[in-house]
Structure 1
Amino acid sequence: MRSKVTKAIFPVAGLGTRFLPATKSVPKEIMTLVDRPLVQYAIDEARAAGIKEFIFITSRGKGALEDYFDYAPQLEAELRRKGKDDLLEILKSTNMDSGEVAYMRQHKPLGLGHAVWCARRLISNEPFAVILPDDVIAAEKPCLAQMVEAFEETQGNIVAAMEVPDAMTKSYGILDIKEDMGSIVSTKGMVEKPAAGTAPSNLAVIGRYILTPTVLQKLNRKQAGAGGEIQLTDAIDAAREDGEEVYGFRFQGQRFDCGSKAGFLQATVAFALARDDLRDELWNYISDVVHSEKAAQ
């Protein structure tokens, strides 16, 4: 019997220091791209892939994130009274039903692997997804939905992957390729943030995973890796050493690194230009800025 993926872990315990002072009081995950928080893009992607249970790994100061998914009776009543039905439907789409969402605290920042390990009792003996909201992916078919289809075919651990410049491999987990089959790549290893010039390929792991329970078992060792943190890639590689297959998946879509200011701005422009109600005005503004800069030169 083939296993289905119905649970997803969202590690959102980070402090978001690169976005200070905004993140002094606002969790980075609810900073908005156009008019939707980062985490809403991740939730929508998960729902489109068939995810039914959403597990957030949080930390102190993330109360606003939890409130975001709660019902807002007063606001709903006000929108209903004013006949703003379109806004009411948008608001309702952000609600999470009771039992659909769970929050677990990561009390110490011990790494991504440790954050995933915190959810172990809610996962049990079944495959699960991990989504990093910092990585926003614009795609015709949502990235996780593409990966679920690949998992149904392979039934092995799958990590989203994309080619990066050689100079950037030191910032990612990098796949050691065994066989390149196009969109799916079988691997013989993974290296977390390899030193310059030592990367086995330029195929980097980004923030989407479908993993087996074996990975959680390997995380039980709480073994520190690169940077002194418990690395998820190390546990995935350990599962591979035990005989499980690990695949890289070249997804179709454009990834934005919204953990950086430049990536966040790029994503904001890209998503705004994709909106019929914003495209023309924004494009005219961008054109005016570009033309005025060229004239100044």
Structure 2
Amino acid sequence: MLSKVVIPVAGLGTRVLPASKAIPKEMLPVVDKPVIQHVIEEAIAAGFTQIILVTRSGKSAIEDHFDHNAELEQILEAKGKDQLLASVRDVLPEGVQLVSVRQDKALGLGHAVHCAAGLIGEEDFAVMLPDMLIDSRTDCSDLQGMVSAYLESGTGQIMVEAVPEEHVERYGVVDCQGNAPAAGTSSPMYDVVEKPPREQAPSNLAIVGRYILPGRVMSLLATTLPGAGGEIQLTDAIKSYLEQGSLNAYTMTGDLYDCGNKSGLLQANIAFGLKHAETADDLKAFLAQL
């Protein structure tokens, strides 16, 4: 069974300051929804029913967003604004549970994921980074494709995208021994290196924020030592797992927007705004004037 997804939301959002000084970066909007809602909707569409937020103090707005606001709902209902009412009332569908755990210290992505160990147990699980927003080009999202590949093969999946070689040192980079998977497919991976220098990178296939991992990875994180940047890296635990088990790299098909930086957030708003029924025409007209 694959039902649990871990979403680390404890980051400070320094790349989008000053906007994130008082507002969690995950709550910054892409058109009419915060980034985190887009990500959680992606998870729900892929069949995940337990959303585990790894959070910290100052992030309560995220949990509040997915809770009911009785006063707002009553006002919208009284005014007959049914469409708006549905948009705020149905943020979290029935049958989907959202829970949170605290990360008391900022010790890296691996540490953040391990904070959810008590809720994951020995189950296989997914990890989604809330900064990374994927605009699907088809009715089937990349995460849905990863889930299908996992269910078919029984093997964990790591989403990757080919990046310019001069950018590999920004990412975790996988080694498929020259057999890079085509878009929408997966192939075995044999190694992973966190933020390698360009000359030491095994490929230009960068991990882009979506993982389906064996439960064993969670126990490996418990003993993973600090690595790149002095932080406990998820990629180091994945590397350890590859010494005893198998994982596949899955090449994404959609368009990726890193909403953890200003440029990516602006690009996502334009891309999603051009698809939104309420904003598409005005936005097209505005862009045509520039």
Partner residue of 1:191 out of 190, 193, 209? 193
SS in 1 for 2:270: helix
d(CA) in 2 for partners of 1:65 and 1:5?
24
Partner residue of 1:203 out of 202, 205, 209? 205
**Deviations, residues 189-226 of structure 1 (Å, cap 9, x unaligned):** 00000012211100110100000111011101041111
d(CA) in 1 for partners of 2:282 and 2:93?
34
SS in 1 for 2:111: helix
Structural mapping, 1:178-257, within 5 Å: 178=177, 179-182=179-182, 183-242=185-244, 244-257=245-258
One-letter amino acid matched to 1:109: A
Task: Choose 1 or 2 for highest CA Rg.
Answer: 1
Judging changes above 3 Å, is the alpha-carbon distance between structure 1 residues 287 and 29 closer, same or farther for their aligned structure 2 residues? same
Shift of residue 99 of structure 1? Answer: 8.0
TM-score, normalised by the number of residues in structure 2: 0.95
Which shows bigger deviation, 193-202 or 173-182?
173-182
Shift of residue 276 of structure 1? Answer: 2.6
Tell me if structure 2 keeps the 8 A contact 1:70–1:96: no
**Deviations, residues 102-159 of structure 1 (Å, cap 9, x unaligned):** 1111011100000000000100111101011100001122221111001012212211
**Deviations, residues 220-257 of structure 1 (Å, cap 9, x unaligned):** 10411111100001101111102x11111012211111
d(CA) in 2 for partners of 1:284 and 1:98?
41
d(CA) in 1 for partners of 2:33 and 2:273?
11
d(CA) in 1 for partners of 2:44 and 2:60?
23
Which shows bigger deviation, 79-88 or 138-147?
138-147
One-letter amino acid matched to 2:288: S
Shift of residue 173 of structure 1? Answer: 0.4
d(CA) in 2 for partners of 1:135 and 1:167?
20
Partner residue of 1:105 out of 102, 106, 125? 102
Residue 24 of structure 2 is matched in structure 1 by 27
Is 2:17 the partner of 1:15? Answer: no
One-letter amino acid matched to 2:227: G
Which sections of structure 2, spanning at least 5 residues, go unmatched?
none
TM-score, normalised by the number of residues in structure 1: 0.93
Tell me if structure 2 keeps the 8 A contact 1:71–1:95: no
Shift of residue 96 of structure 1? Answer: 6.4
Is 2:51 the partner of 1:54? Answer: yes
One-letter amino acid matched to 1:158: Q
d(CA) in 2 for partners of 1:281 and 1:103?
39
Tell me if structure 1 keeps the 8 A contact 2:52–2:100: yes
d(CA) in 2 for partners of 1:273 and 1:155?
38
Is 2:265 the partner of 1:268? Answer: no
d(CA) in 2 for partners of 1:59 and 1:277?
35
Residue 279 of structure 2 is matched in structure 1 by 278
Shift of residue 22 of structure 1? Answer: 1.6
Tell me if structure 1 keeps the 8 A contact 2:49–2:95: no
Which shows bigger deviation, 86-95 or 206-215?
86-95
Is 2:148 the partner of 1:146? Answer: no
Is 2:120 the partner of 1:123? Answer: yes
RMSD: 1.4
SS in 1 for 2:190: strand
Judging changes above 3 Å, is the alpha-carbon distance between structure 1 residues 99 and 177 closer, same or farther for their aligned structure 2 residues? closer
Residue 295 of structure 1 is matched in structure 2 by none
SS in 1 for 2:20: helix
Tell me if structure 1 keeps the 8 A contact 2:122–2:215: yes
Paired-residue identity, %? 42
d(CA) in 2 for partners of 1:275 and 1:58?
30
Residue 172 of structure 1 is matched in structure 2 by 171
One-letter amino acid matched to 2:284: W
Which shows bigger deviation, 174-183 or 105-114?
174-183
SS in 1 for 2:91: coil
One-letter amino acid matched to 1:288: Q
